[in-house]
Structure formats: C-alpha cells, structure tokens
Structure 1
Amino acid sequence: MATRKLYAGAKLREVRTRVGLTQTDFAARLGMSLPYLNQMENNNRPVSTTVLLALAREFGFDVTELGAGDDERLVSDMREALADPVFSDAVPLADLRLVGANAPALARAFLGLHRAYRDGAERLASLDAALGQSGLSAPSPWEEVRDFFHYCDNYVDAVDRAAEMLAARMKGDIDAGLARYWDNRNTRVTLADSPRLRQHDLKAGTLVLSSRASAATNRFQQLHQVALNSHADLLDATLDLARFSSSDARAIARTGLANYFAGAVLMPYEAFRTAAEDTRHDLERLARRFGASLEQVAHRLSTLQRTGAKGLPFFFVRVDQAGQITKRHSATRLQFARFGGACPLWNVHAAFATPGQFLRQLAETPDGVRYLCLARDISAPGGSFDAPVRRHAMALGCEVRHAPRVVYADGLDLSGRFEPIGVSCRICERVNCHQRAVPPLERPLTIDPNDRGVLPYDL
C-alpha cells in the first residue's frame, strides 16, 4: 500500500503562530525557501520528512501532532453526515480530504447545517411544541460540547496542568488533601442515603455525598466541587475561548471541564503516564493505585495527549444496551459513529452478557488498520432494591502495533485472524457483512428476486 502524503498546512501555520515567527523567519529556521513554506502552508505541497526533522530539532515539536490534526476527524464526520439518506449522491473520499485539509471552517459549517437539519426533522417527527422557539440554526448544546472536546483531542492543557499542581500539593494523599481543603473552608462533608451524588450548600457550609456511591465516585465528586469552587476563573477562561452559542452548552461544558479537572487530580498527568507504562496499561492495577474506577482510568488513558509527552494513543467509548454511544474519544485513526449506534460486530456489545469480565478482540477496520480492543461491562447498581441499575459497557483499544505495550495482548496471536468491524453501515464499504443493517451509500445494489443470500441484495 502506498504511503499517504502528509498535507498539514493548517497545523503548520498553527505551529508558526504558536512560536511567534513570521513566514520568512520560520522558513529560515526550517532551512527552506519562503515560497516552499508558503506552498506547504496552503497544502499545495506535502510536508516533507526534512521539515518534520527540522520542526523537532528547532522547536522540540512533537511531529505526531501533524498527522493527528482535525482533518481526519472532519473527513470521518462528513462521511457520516453524507451517509444521511437526504443526500442521494456519494462524494468521493478524495474530495472530502481536500475539504478537510484546505477548508476546515467550511467542513464545520456543513456539519453544523446537517445537525440543524436533523434537529428540525426530529422535532417535526415528534411534534415538538417548542419548534418555533428553539431555533434550528445551531447544534444542540450536547452536540456542541461533544464537538468541543472532540476537536481539542479531549485534552485541555491549562485545566490538566492546574489539576496536576493541586495533586502535587496534596502529596499523593487525595483523601487527606480533600479533608484539609474542606476544613480550611469550614465545610462539613457528610454521607446520606440518597440517589443524589453531590449536594453542596455554600452558605450552610455543607457538602452531602451519597452513601450508595463507591469511594472512588465520592472522591471524584469532591474534586469536581473543588474545581467549581476554587478554579472557577480557569474554567470560565476556557469556556470563553470555546465561544459556545448558548448558555446551556456553556453550562454543560462547565460540568465537563470540572469532571476533567477531577479526573486529572486523581490521576495527575506525568505520574499516571509513567504508571500506565510501568503496569503495561493494566486498568485494575491503575484503578487501585490511583483510587479511581475502571471507567475513570480508561477515559484518562485516552486523554494523554500533552505535547512532547504523549501516552500510548487509545480510543475510549462507552455505550448503553441499545448500542448508543454516550461517551467517545479517539486518539487513534478510528473515529466513532456520531449518528446512530456502533458496529454490531464490535466486542463491546457482548460485554453486557459477561459482567465482571474483560473481553479481548483483534479487529480490522475497512481501511486496513488493525486494533486490539478491550471491552467490559461497567454497569452501576443503584444502591437500593428499588433503584434502577445504570447499564453501560466501555471499550478501550489501540492499534495493534502498540499491543506489546499492553498487558491485555498477552497470549493473543497478533498475526492471526482479525474480526472485520466498521463505523456505521451506511459508510462501511465491506461487501460480505452478515450483520449489515442498511446498504452502504457509495455502493450500487443488485437485487435479484430469484437469488437471495443473507441480505436481500448484493453489492
């Protein structure tokens, strides 16, 4: 297979802006002519190996950032949007890559328009009484926040470093550090037999946690409140930069950033990255060491994207019993379905039938990339007989070339059979899939009433 050329003009311009150099000075530092740099920044030329080496040498730049920009995510998102039946004609993948690399703002505008269309269609279908007041020109607040984390690689540097500094002040004892924090603020922390995870009354000086929750959950909830109380300015500054279109989106993102802060205090970046490598990414050992849940550990592994100190690139996803994705992030080339459920051939769906067990799968996506996939049921009991159980499963994985660094690959034949999986049926190009729900948009169909296979059509 031919090596794909790297066009990363937008990212290259971002690097130049970050170091505060003009095109002329930047070209001189990289040892090239100004016209040559200009051509690369405008994606008329690919970024060469010589330039990559010069970026690393002159600026200490992590060159893997150039290959992990927004363009591939935008291409994946546009392919999914164009799989909507409202679009009758397929758009060649090469055209989508050109748009993603050269006109990312246009790509995001298209995705926003498609979200608005879907939102309007859903409201009309359900006879939503608020149709005339909600405004269909913007994505839903939840989707807007999801995209914010999606396009910043689920890593927020300022928040992550502030959390790491707080963890350092707590000197490795989070519980003792939290006790001091609340004592200094004259806040009494109590437990109550309640389904509410956290209730904070600043005036009364009380923080009530649920006795039904685990110790890891209560620890996390306290750190979330610390973020809201003592790092409000940092959260607000980050939210200001994001420029959310509605107060609801900003409020949801604020909760997301406070959660991010809590996880980063529990699992401070450098300490956690080192421990992850030392344990070969053993989730249970990491959970014990950092007093976190398996889900918190898996999610944290997918956020290790600090420039110059990146961890092993993982994808992380959480699904419900209907296959709907409720959390997702990928630091790999695998991008999850934004619309609809996940591929039924993926082992995450089988995790519900094997509670308490880790399932391993070697899988291959249609682009030929192979992955080590790990799945586990993470359903949480309600804490009482009449409380509902929240049923979810999570998946964590990496490209198989990284598998020797992961304990869950031990004993697997990495040269053996790989399960064919996809992202979404409407954009999956596999011809012979027995679990296909709908035909792919880009393939013509052959329908013979006298010749029937597993599916009522052939591709």
Structure 2
Amino acid sequence: MTARKTFAGARLGEIRRGLGMTQAALGRSLGVSTSYLNQMENNHRPISRDVVQGLAEKFGLDVSVFSMDEGDRLIADLREAMADPVFADAPSRAELQILATNAPGMAHAFLTLHRAYSRAQERLASIDEALERPDAGFSPLPWEEVRDFFHYVDNYLDAVDRAAEQFARTAGFDGRDKIANGARWLAERHGISTRYEGRLIRRYDDASRTLTLSPDQTPATQAFHLAHQVALIAHAGLIEATLDLARFRTDEARAIARIGIANYFAGAAILPYGAFLSAARELRHDLEALAGRFGCSLEQVGHRLSTLQRPGARGVPFFFVRVDQAGTITKRHSSTPLQFARFGGACPLWNVHRAFETPGRILRQLAETPDGVRYLCLATDVIKPGGHFRAPTRRYAIGLGCEVRYADQLVYADDLDTTNAAAYEPIGISCRICERRACHQRSVPPVEKRLSIDANARDVLPYAIRR
C-alpha cells in the first residue's frame, strides 16, 4: 500500500515566511533546490519527507502541522456533499485534497452552502414545516455547529485538557476514590456540599452551594457529573474563553458547546492525560483493564483513547463511535483516515452493529475501507440502566479502532493474522459514496457512478455499477 502524498504548499509557505526566509535561503538550509521548494509551495509536488524532517531538526517544527487529519476530515465531508445528485460531475480526490489543504476556509464555506441548500430542499418537501418555521433561515442547526467545532479541533482542547489533569492531581481525582475526593475538594475550595438523593442525575443550586447527585447512577456516572460541575464552577473563565474563540453563530450553539466542553473536562479529569496514556501503553489498550484501573466505564475509556492527540505526547490514533439500536451514529470522532458519514447510519458490514447480538463481549474485526486502508475494529454493547423500575434503559454499541499498523500495540491483535489479506472484511462509509461494486448490503447506488440495468438478469442487486 503506497503512502499518501501530502500537498500542503500554502502551509509550507506560511512556515517559510514566519521564519523570515526566502525560498532560496530555506532551500539551502534544508539541502533542496529553490525550484524544488517552489514546486512544493505551489502544489506541483508533494511535501517531501526530507523537508519535513529538516524543518523539525533545524527549526524545531512540530511535524504534526503537516498532518492530513483535518484535510482528511474535510475531504470526507466534501466527498459526501459532492455525492449529492445536484452535482453532475464530482471533482477528483486530488482536487478536493488541494482545496482542503490550501483553502480550508473555502471548503468550510462550501459545506455551509450545501447544508443550506439541503435544508431548503427539505423545506420544499414539507410545506407544513416551512410554514411553521418561516424564520428558521439557512444557518446550521446549533447541535450541528457544535458537532463540527469538536470535529475540526480533532476533539482535543489542550488548555481544558491540562486544566482537568491539574484538577485530578490536586483533588486526588486520579485514584479510585474519585467521588469522595472530589466532594472534599469542592467543600474545601468552594464551600460546596455534595448530596446523594433524588432521581435527577445532577443538580447544582448556587444559592445553597449544594451539588446533588442521583444515588441511582453508577459510581462512574456520579464521578463524571461531579467533574462536569467542577468545570462549570472552577473553570468558567477558561470555558468562556474557549467559546469566544469558537465564535458560534447563536446563543443556543454556545450553550450546547458549554456543556460539551464541561463534558470534555470531566472525561479528562477521570482519565488524566499523562497517567492514562502511560497505562494504555502498559496494558496494551485493554479496555476492560483500563476501566478497572481508573474506575470508569468502557465508553469513557473508548472516548478518551480517541482524544490522545497532545502535541509531543500523542497516543495511538483511534476512531470512536457510538451507535443506537436504529443504527444512527450518536457520537463520532476519528483521529484516523476513517471518517464517518455526517448523516445517516454506519456501514452495515461493520462489527459495531453485531455488538447488540452478543451483549457483554468485545468483538474484533479486521476491516478494509475502499481507499485500501486496513483497520483493527473493536465493538461492544453499552447498557445504561435508569436506576429504578420504571426508568428507561438505554442501549448503545460503541466502536473503536485503529489502523492495523498499530495493531501490535493492542492486546486484541495477539492471535490475529493481520498479514492475511483474506481476513479483512470490506467496509465502507456511506452507500452514497462507497465505490464497492459487489456489496451485498448496499442500500442505494453510488451517485458518482452510472448504472447498467438488465430486466432479464438479476443478481443480488437489481443493477450493475459501471466502471
């Protein structure tokens, strides 16, 4: 499998100008010709490994600035948007890569425009809804805006993450007595008492300085919500500064993001970055062992693994997803080339759907996406009981995975033959943009391909996809 080429000329030019150097001077310093450097800056050639290494060694540059993670996310989103039948001819991946890398602002503007178009089409298809909401406009919905915010910051907020790690150390929140230590910290630092009563998961009354947690919830859930409230009380300024930088369009989006950032703090406090990264490497990413060591849930462990993107101390790049019983993705994040569809469900061939059939087990799957990248995928079911007889029980499946080149760092790969091409199941992202021609689970044809239809012949699909 060939390595992906990185075209990031605009980024290279910004770095050179930031160093106050001409192309000739930088070329001499890196041992490349001026014309070769000029070709890279103009995207006529990909950024060479020697140039990236030279920038790191001679100027201390963090090579992650040339990471294609954000570009990959933009490319995946652009491909999905361009799969809309309104576009007769979709640009090639190379064209989309140049746009995402060198003009990300334009790419985001296009996605905003396509979102507005899609919502307009939905309104036309439902006149009643359009009449009931004449002022809705074409701006992204608040939850969409917040989802995209976390999506494009790689689900990692450095300042918030470090603040949570500091709290965990000072409050003794990094051990197994999280709730008692956290409650003691709130009482000593802020004069807040913690009670365990009622059925509301969490409630804070500022007038009485009382935090109330439901005794019906698991200790892991109680600890999470205690840390969530710590974020809102002790780090309100940091949260507001982060929200200011995000520049959300509406108060509703800002309010949703405030909760999301507090949730991020809570997860980072329960699983402090340094200690968790060290334990993940020691235990070879054994989900159950990590949950036991830190006294938290499998979902919390899985989500945290996908956020270990601190510069200079990165963990294995994981994707993380949560799916409900209808197949709808309710949480999604990827630090890998695998990007999830922004709308609808996940590929039915993916093992995350089978997790509901085998409760209590962690399923393994070797999978290959249409771009040829291979993954080790893990999936298990998650049950969230309500805590009393009439409370609803919520069921989800969570999926976690990494590129197979990191498989030796996972205990789950020890007895798998990762070198056997036949062991990999073909999975996709979304049927609308999936290039596979012979998938027996395909729900709709790919919009980028033409079809051949023969009324006198029938295979698994009622049509053939032309090459």
Structure 2-normalised TM-score? 0.92
The structure-2 alpha-carbon separation of the partners of 1:317 and 1:275, relative to structure 1 and needing over 3 Å to count, comes to: same
Q: How does 1:160-239 map to 2 (within 5 A)?
A: 160-171=161-172, 172-173=174-175, 174-184=178-188, 185-194=190-199, 196-239=200-243
TM-superposed deviation, 1:265 = 1.1
What amino acid is aligned across from residue 139 of structure 1 in structure 2? P
What amino acid is aligned across from residue 150 of structure 1 in structure 2? H
The structure-2 alpha-carbon separation of the partners of 1:10 and 1:303, relative to structure 1 and needing over 3 Å to count, comes to: farther
**What are the superposed Cα offsets for residues 395-445 of structure 1, whole Å, 9 maximum, x if unpaired?**
000011111110111212212311000000011110100000001112211
2:179–2:219 Cα contact (<8 Å) kept: no
Q: How does 1:59-458 map to 2 (within 5 A)?
A: 59-126=59-126, 127-128=128-129, 129-136=131-138, 138-171=139-172, 172-173=174-175, 174-184=178-188, 185-194=190-199, 196-416=200-420, 417-458=423-464
Look up the SS of the partner of 1:132 in the other structure.
Answer: coil
2:20 aligns with 22
What amino acid is aligned across from residue 192 of structure 2 in structure 1? T
TM-superposed deviation, 1:37 = 5.0
**What are the superposed Cα offsets for residues 20-64 of structure 1, whole Å, 9 maximum, x if unpaired?**
533449937656677765653443442122211112213444424
TM-superposed deviation, 1:293 = 1.1
Structure 1-normalised TM-score? 0.93
TM-superposed deviation, 1:208 = 1.0
> Quick one: distance in 2 between partners of 1:16 and 1:160?
31
> Quick one: distance in 2 between partners of 1:436 and 1:346?
13
1:80–1:339 Cα contact (<8 Å) kept: no
- How many pairs are equivalent? 455
1:124–1:131 Cα contact (<8 Å) kept: no
2:216–2:387 Cα contact (<8 Å) kept: yes
TM-superposed deviation, 1:101 = 2.2
> Quick one: distance in 2 between partners of 1:164 and 1:384?
34
**What are the superposed Cα offsets for residues 190-214 of structure 1, whole Å, 9 maximum, x if unpaired?**
11241x2111001111111111211
What amino acid is aligned across from residue 58 of structure 1 in structure 2? K
The structure-2 alpha-carbon separation of the partners of 1:176 and 1:385, relative to structure 1 and needing over 3 Å to count, comes to: closer
**What are the superposed Cα offsets for residues 93-113 of structure 1, whole Å, 9 maximum, x if unpaired?**
222222222321111111111
> Quick one: distance in 1 between partners of 2:197 and 2:180?
21
> Quick one: distance in 1 between partners of 2:42 and 2:241?
31
> Quick one: distance in 1 between partners of 2:179 and 2:58?
43
**What are the superposed Cα offsets for residues 70-127 of structure 1, whole Å, 9 maximum, x if unpaired?**
2221111011111223333333222222222232111111111111122233344442
2:183–2:193 Cα contact (<8 Å) kept: no
Aligned residues with identical type, % of pairs: 60
1:42–1:102 Cα contact (<8 Å) kept: no
2:319–2:335 Cα contact (<8 Å) kept: yes
Unaligned 5+ residue runs, structure 2? Answer: none
> Quick one: distance in 2 between partners of 1:183 and 1:447?
71
> Quick one: distance in 1 between partners of 2:232 and 2:447?
46
1:43 aligns with 43
The structure-2 alpha-carbon separation of the partners of 1:14 and 1:321, relative to structure 1 and needing over 3 Å to count, comes to: farther
Look up the SS of the partner of 2:135 in the other structure.
Answer: helix
Look up the SS of the partner of 1:207 in the other structure.
Answer: strand
2:306–2:320 Cα contact (<8 Å) kept: yes
The structure-2 alpha-carbon separation of the partners of 1:60 and 1:197, relative to structure 1 and needing over 3 Å to count, comes to: farther
2:336–2:403 Cα contact (<8 Å) kept: yes
What amino acid is aligned across from residue 184 of structure 2 in structure 1? R
**What are the superposed Cα offsets for residues 301-338 of structure 1, whole Å, 9 maximum, x if unpaired?**
00011111100011100111111111111111101111
2:167–2:269 Cα contact (<8 Å) kept: yes
> Quick one: distance in 1 between partners of 2:329 and 2:13?
34
Look up the SS of the partner of 1:318 in the other structure.
Answer: strand
> Quick one: distance in 2 between partners of 1:59 and 1:165?
30
Look up the SS of the partner of 1:379 in the other structure.
Answer: strand
> Quick one: distance in 1 between partners of 2:69 and 2:366?
26
TM-superposed deviation, 1:251 = 1.0
1:8–1:66 Cα contact (<8 Å) kept: yes
| Mean Cα deviation higher: 69-78 or 432-441 | 69-78
Unaligned 5+ residue runs, structure 1? Answer: none
> Quick one: distance in 2 between partners of 1:331 and 1:342?
17
> Quick one: distance in 1 between partners of 2:143 and 2:121?
17
Look up the SS of the partner of 2:95 in the other structure.
Answer: helix
1:170–1:176 Cα contact (<8 Å) kept: no
